[in-house]
Amino acid sequence: MVDLSLRDIKKRFKTVDVLHGIDLEIKDKELVVFVGPSGCGKSTLLRLIAGLDPISDGEFWMNGKRMNDIAPSKRGIAMVFQSYALYPHMDVFENMAFGVRLMGLDKAEVDKRINDAARMLRLEPLLKRRPKELSGGQRQRVAIGRALVRKPELLDAAEIHHHDAVGERHGLDLVMGHVDGGAADVAVQLG
């Protein structure tokens, strides 16, 4: 279960104020979609939540704990980047396994999580391929799988909807299926 609270969040880059006093409450099992023009601060807000950029002012709380100074790796948040951020020298299996291995899980658990996600995301035949050998939709599913195998409390995703070449479920549908199925408690997505 996850509850998020953003209280008077501000972000400043040098002398430019990018976010001005954001207040937001997100409850367990909610899907929140941030919509706005390019450059309005959607991605910046997601980066603050994930801990990739420091908050200039205000407070971020998750499950009653102040998160402002908590390292990204300790937040229980997984991100699906707009660019997918896949490692080009690794195959699909290795890309999906990279972050979950850093959690210190044994090989059997890592293999199980990767194989379960690959089955759900229809990536099984692609596990030995490298990113350059995949379509945009396939790369997107690898990025979603890599995030979900960590079993995060919060899935933080940027524009995960467009690639659906041959009737596959849209990325957002895949993510929501995992929120409903317990792989993540809250999903946040950019529109």
Return the CATH number of the domain spanning residue range 80-190: 3.40.50.300
- CA angle 76-77-82, nearest 5°? 165
Same CATH fold assignment for domains 4-71 and 80-190: yes
pTM: 0.69
Tell me which H or E stretch contains 99: helix 92-101
The one-digit pLDDT tens for each residue of the chain (191 residues) are 678 899 999 999 999 999 999 999 988 777 777 777 878 888 888 889 989 899 999 999 998 999 999 998 888 887 776 677 899 999 999 999 988 888 888 999 999 999 998 998 889 999 999 999 999 888 988 988 888 888 887 777 765 555 444 334 445 555 555 544 444 444 454 44
| Number of Cβ within a 10 Å radius of residue 52 | 15
Domain boundaries, the chain: 4-71, 80-190
Residue identified by tokens 């299996």 is 93
> Where are the strands (E) in the chain, listed by range?
4-13, 16-26, 31-34, 57-62, 65-66, 77-80, 154-157, 186-190
- Assess if CATH 3.40.190.100 describes domain 4-71: no
